[in-house]
Structures are given as structure tokens and as C-alpha cells.
Amino acid sequence: MAISKVGIIGTGTMGLGVAQVCASAGHDVIAVKATPGPVDKAKDTVVKGLAKIVERGKMDAATRDAIISRMTFSSEENAVADCDLVIESIIEDLETKKALFRRLDQVCRADTLLTTNTSTLSVTAMMAVCKKRDRVAGLHFFNPAPVMKLVEIIHGFETSDETLEKLNVFCKDINKDPVIVQDTTGFIVNRLLVPYMLNAIRMLERGTGTIEDIDHAMKSGAAHPMGPFELADYIGLDVVEAMSMNIYMDVRHEHHAPPHTLTRLVQLGYLGRKTGQGFYDYSAKPPVQNPQLLRPVI
């Protein structure tokens, strides 16, 4: 069975990005708002985002209209009942996700593929609450979904080879570059990337270098497009801390635990670009090292 109709649960940044990717590739999409409130805002976000692309000359109006016409927005989970594939992209909390999978297992067809866009949580733990476990897997897109090519297809403990192959074909069909990964906390990218950012923070705490110098060294010396602090601010420091804790709770190694400075910044609400201040102060033009970090955060 070819995947034609896709359901997305969650209309945050990632959910809407994945929905746009699927609709752009010609799939009919049902985007379900997972939190209370009207769905109009989610649709407006997509429409405004596509309008900017048209304004920049990267897309014509007819293509934009065709993408929007393939997207339906709902606040009801049972709207995905007839979908061939459902991609969950809600809050990164295991118990909340497991509860959703229990409901989807009852609502969706027996042959519907149920997937999670989790960045670090166990796919097998979500699979465990389902009766039809062979059709459950991870489908981890990267932010921003319309731009980033990689998708990690996560092989849960009982995911069938048939499910993996269908998802592999689907990812290529939506112009993504898939890799199949065993269900290990953090998978490939975040299992490598999170310790990299944590090590940079510890270097800062030890006085090895400044935020700007460490970032500059990795961009100039390792050809990274962003330094570790720029990357952490881009992802969101709360997200980085949560990913760190998820990996730490799995491996129980201090190397993966959130450093003191990261925890303090999250407690203060300095979450990076989305709040205007993190390791950098984004109210300045161009952004400068957060003046609060010119002295130790204690």
C-alpha cells in the first residue's frame, strides 16, 4: 500500500513544517491541533510562511495554492482515522506520547503506520502500549523541516521490515534523505550533537575560551555552519537540557548530564533565539555574547 494520506498530530513549529513538506510532495494532509484553541492560527502560520517564499521568488502562487489546498486542519484526533500514515509531533514527554499512541491504536486502521517525531525518547516505550506494534516506528525530522534533508527512521523493538521499507520509500518520495537507526536514546544525530554542545558549555565554565571564541573556532577550524552555542540557542536551551536529561537517564553517565550554566539559563527563561536571549543577546545587532555570562552563572 502506497502512502497517500498523512495525519500530523501537533501543529507547533515541527508539526506544521512536516505537514508542509508532505503537502508539497503531493500528499493530502490532516493537521490536528493537540492543544486547546482554534485551528485558524495554525493555518495562518502556514499561509504566511508560504507567502514569504512566494515573495522571495522561490515559489509561484499556483504552487502555494496547491499546497494549501491539500492541507486540512482539525482539533479532533479521530480526523486521522483514515490516514495511511500518522506522524506524532506533540510535547516531548513520554507519558503524554504513550497516552496518545494508546488512543491512535484504537482510532486508526489496522494497516495505518503510527510514527513519532521524538528527538530522543524511546520509540519502543510508545510501541509497547499498542496492540499492532509492528507498524509503529520513529520518523525524526529536523528543524526546519522544509529545509533539512535528513530523516531518522527509528527501528523500534518490534517494528517490521515492511514498515521500515514503506517509511524509507515515503521519505524519498517527500524529497528527504532517510537513515535507519536502532532505537537508542538520541538516535544518531542527537546522541553525537548533544554531548558536543554540553562539552562546549563545560569549556566555557572552565574558562577555556569565550562563547564567541569557541563558536568561531568550530566554524573556522571544523567548517561547522554554526558554533555549539549558536546551535544551542537555535534549538532552544530548554530543548537541549531536556535532550541531555533523556540521554543521561538512559546511560547514567555524568558526561551526558546538563551542565550547571545550562540549567541556570533555562531556570531564568533565557532559552535562546525564541526568547531573545540565551548564550547570545539577540536584541543587539549583530547578536553579542550574553552580558550575564561575562561572569560565572552560580
Same domain, 138 and 162: yes
Any bridge partners for residue 73, and if so which? 31
Q: What are phi and psi of 101, to 5 degrees?
A: -65, -35
Find the catalytic residue in 77, 152, 230, 241.
Answer: 152
**164 alpha-carbon distance from chain centroid:** 20
In this prediction the pTM is 0.91
Same domain, 137 and 198: no
**257 alpha-carbon distance from chain centroid:** 21
pLDDT reported for residue 295: 62
Q: Tell me, what amino acid is at 4?
A: S
Same domain, 178 and 216: no
> Can you tell me the distance from the alpha carbon of 23 to that of 7, in angstroms, rounded to the nearest whole number?
11
CA dihedral sign, ordered 133, 25, 59, 177: positive
Q: What are phi and psi of 252, to 5 degrees?
A: 55, 45
Place of cell 555552519: 225
Cell, residue 79:
480526523
pLDDT reported for residue 215: 97
Of 182, 207, 238, the position where a domain reaches its end is: 182
pLDDT reported for residue 154: 98
Q: Pairing state of beta strands 28-32 and 71-74?
A: parallel
Q: Pairing state of beta strands 150-155 and 280-281?
A: unpaired
pLDDT reported for residue 6: 98
> Can you tell me the distance from the alpha carbon of 281 to that of 295, in angstroms, rounded to the nearest whole number?
15
pLDDT reported for residue 173: 97
> Can you tell me the distance from the alpha carbon of 280 to that of 294, in angstroms, rounded to the nearest whole number?
11
Same domain, 37 and 157: yes
CA dihedral sign, ordered 158, 163, 167, 168: positive
**Three-state DSSP class for residue 220:** helix
Same domain, 229 and 112: no
Any bridge partners for residue 86, and if so which? 7, 114
Same domain, 19 and 139: yes
Same domain, 264 and 151: no
Tally of structural domains, the chain:
2
**188 alpha-carbon distance from chain centroid:** 14
Same domain, 100 and 215: no
Q: Which of 33, 20, 30, 31 is nearest to 67 (CA)?
A: 20
pLDDT reported for residue 51: 95
Same domain, 22 and 164: yes
Find the catalytic residue in 24, 27, 89, 140.
Answer: 140
Domain that holds residue 243: 190-294
Same domain, 174 and 263: no
Runs of H (alpha helix) within the chain = 13-24, 40-55, 61-69, 94-107, 123-127, 161-173, 189-206, 211-222, 228-235, 237-251, 260-268
In the annotation, is 260 catalytic?
Answer: no
Contact call for residues 121 and 101 (beta carbons, < 8 A): no
CATH number, residue 20: 3.40.50.720
**Three-state DSSP class for residue 215:** helix
In the annotation, is 190 catalytic?
Answer: yes
CATH number, residue 205: 1.10.1040.10
Of 166, 182, 198, the position where a domain reaches its end is: 182
Q: How many Cβ atoms from other residues are within 10 Å of residue 149's Cβ?
A: 11
Tens of each residue's pLDDT in the chain, 298 residues = 689 999 999 999 999 999 999 999 999 999 999 988 889 999 999 999 999 999 999 999 999 999 999 999 999 999 999 999 999 999 999 999 999 999 999 999 999 999 999 999 999 999 999 999 999 999 999 999 999 999 999 999 999 999 999 999 999 999 999 999 999 999 999 999 999 999 999 999 999 999 999 999 999 999 999 999 999 999 999 999 999 999 999 888 888 999 999 999 999 999 999 999 999 999 998 999 998 887 655 5
Same domain, 99 and 132: yes
Of 162, 182, 202, the position where a domain reaches its end is: 182
Any bridge partners for residue 88, and if so which? 9, 116
Find the catalytic residue in 119, 244, 246, 290.
Answer: 119
Same domain, 235 and 124: no
Q: Pairing state of beta strands 5-9 and 85-88?
A: parallel
In the annotation, is 253 catalytic?
Answer: no
Find the catalytic residue in 117, 122, 190, 290.
Answer: 190
In the annotation, is 158 catalytic?
Answer: no
Q: Which of 152, 135, 143 is nearest to 21 (CA)?
A: 143
Inter-CA distances, 32 with 20, 110, 126, Å: 13, 20, 19
